[in-house]
């Protein structure tokens, strides 16, 4: 009997959510046959069988969040059971290597709060039960804070609605929350803002393409922002190639697929690459490799609303460019006043990895490219 644990799927995550089992107890499996599908950092990944045999036990069910190294399935491979140790990922802790570990892993709910003392007569409690009102969410208006029938009826009429039930985040939103906490804990962010005068652009110009091209120009001028930074070793890796992570919005969460070697792409290839990434994001068919490894990030939030923002830098990258909504503004044109279209730009950079002067020169190079007519 061998126990297969959740392996390291190569994304640096501590857990994964089970979205589907491809096998059941009693099934026979062969080497590399898909056992189950899990959701990790915004991608769904099939986990293959590490050996052949008969499935004896499934340790978790669909919807469970399983920590790295916890058991997934017992498989009887017909070989003598010599040690009874966990087989699978070689990097799991000793605590996870004993057979018979409790099976189901669910989202931690945190410490339970002490029961709230509710002062209410039996008739009031019966009324609350009938009307679906949670007495613990009400403030009593009776003597010594006792809850009255009027309090219950008012809550039922939504004059004092009970708080909605708390739900644990799952899937992409859970990953987003973890990533934002990581950024807040590790990055020293500084924000720079300015406006690009894009009055010279031709009608119908592709804004996203111009932003990508301008970022390439800025990274070439100031490579310090096209880099990764390791806060533990205080070391920096500056890249020659430019892989731009571009934030794409969905109903589930924000996805950041990567446009590889943006410095080698022209207008047509940039647009076709971006359109293909958008389609795969929509279909949830992106591979984990397409969601990691970028050297700098772009957030074109202006297509929705907003002028300036403080975009979040995600380690190990050191900079993110944000573009707001363009608008007509009054500008000085010689001795006269004219209306020019201007594009708000925000840059957040990690001050541990680059200086303010470097970031300012990067912004200047970005604006210079954006303000070109062609």
Given a cut of 80, whether residue 352 has pLDDT beyond it is yes
Given a cut of 60, whether residue 104 has pLDDT beyond it is no
The overall pTM is greater than 0.85:
no
Report the distance separating Cα 24 and Cα 46, nearest Å. Answer: 15
Q: How confident is the model at residue 170 (pLDDT cuts 50, 70, 90)?
A: confident
CATH domain 172-370 topology: Chloramphenicol Acetyltransferase (3.30.559)
Tokens of 155: 């809550």
Q: Which comes out higher in pLDDT, residue 297 or 11?
A: 297
CATH domain 2-96 topology: OB fold (Dihydrolipoamide Acetyltransferase, E2P) (2.40.50)
User: Residue 245: which of 296, 211, 279, 285 has the closest Cα?
Assistant: 296
- Distance set, CA 367 to CA 46, 194, 244 (Å): 44, 8, 18
In the numeric block, the tokens 């202006």 are attached to 302
Q: Per residue in 239-263, pLDDT tens?
A: 999 999 999 988 777 889 999 999 9
Q: Which CATH superfamily is domain 119-167 in?
A: E3-binding domain (4.10.320.10)
Domain ranges of the chain: 2-96, 119-167, 172-370
pLDDT score for 52: 92
Q: What number is the average pLDDT over the span 9-25? A: 82
Given a cut of 50, whether residue 83 has pLDDT beyond it is no
Q: How confident is the model at residue 164 (pLDDT cuts 50, 70, 90)?
A: confident
Q: What percent of the chain has pLDDT over 90?
A: 54
**DSSP state for residue 231 in the 8-state scheme:** T
pLDDT score for 163: 62
**Residue 303 near residue 246, CB atoms below 8 Å:** no
User: Residue 192: which of 356, 305, 329, 341 has the closest Cα?
Assistant: 356
With residue 278 as reference, give the H or E element that holds it: helix 267-282
- State the burial class of residue 14 (Cβ atoms within 10 Å of its Cβ: 0-12, 13-18, 19+): exposed
174 C-beta neighbours (distance < 10 Å), count: 19
Q: Is 347 helix (H, G, I), strand (E, B) or coil?
A: strand
**DSSP state for residue 50 in the 8-state scheme:** S
């Amino acid at each position: 009997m061998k126990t297969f644990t959740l392996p390291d799927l190569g994304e640096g995550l501590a857990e994964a959510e089970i979205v589907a089992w491809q096998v059941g107890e009693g099934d026979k499996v062969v080497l590399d046959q898909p056992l189950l599908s899990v959701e990790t950092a915004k991608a769904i990944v099939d986990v293959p069988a590490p050996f052949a045999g008969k499935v004896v036990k499934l340790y978790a069910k669909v919807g469970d969040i399983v920590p790295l190294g916890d058991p997934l399935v017992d498989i009887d491979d017909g070989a003598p059971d010599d040690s009874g140790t966990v087989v699978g990922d070689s990097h799991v802790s000793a605590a996870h290597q004993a057979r018979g570990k409790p099976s189901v892993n669910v989202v931690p709910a945190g410490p339970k709060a002490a029961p709230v003392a509710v002062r209410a007569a039996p008739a009031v409690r019966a009324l609350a039960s009938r009307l679906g009102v949670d007495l613990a969410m009400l403030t009593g208006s009776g003597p010594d804070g006792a809850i009255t029938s009027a309090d219950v009826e008012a809550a039922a009429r939504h004059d004092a609605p009970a708080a909605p039930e708390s739900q644990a985040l799952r899937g992409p939103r859970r990953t987003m929350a973890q990533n934002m906490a990581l950024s807040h804990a590790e990055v020293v962010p500084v924000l720079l803002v300015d406006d690009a005068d894009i009055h010279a652009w031709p009608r119908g110009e592709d804004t996203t393409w111009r932003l990508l091209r301008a970022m390439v120009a800025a990274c070439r001028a100031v490579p310090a922002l096209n880099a990764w930074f390791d806060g533990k070793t205080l070391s920096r890796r500056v890249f020659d190639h430019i892989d731009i992570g571009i934030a794409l919005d969905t109903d589930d969460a924000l996805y950041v697929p990567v446009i590889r070697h943006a410095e080698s792409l022209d207008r047509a290839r940039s647009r076709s690459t971006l359109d293909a990434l958008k389609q795969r994001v929509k279909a949830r068919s992106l591979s984990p490799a397409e969601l990691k490894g970028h050297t700098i990030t772009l957030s074109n939030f202006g297509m929705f609303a907003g002028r300036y923002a403080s975009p979040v830098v995600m380690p190990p990258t050191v900079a993110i460019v944000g573009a707001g909504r363009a608008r007509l503004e009054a500008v000085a044109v010689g001795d006269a006043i004219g209306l020019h279209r201007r594009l708000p730009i925000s840059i957040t950079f990690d001050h541990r990895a680059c200086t303010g002067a470097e970031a300012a020169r990067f912004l200047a190079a970005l604006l210079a490219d954006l303000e070109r007519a062609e």
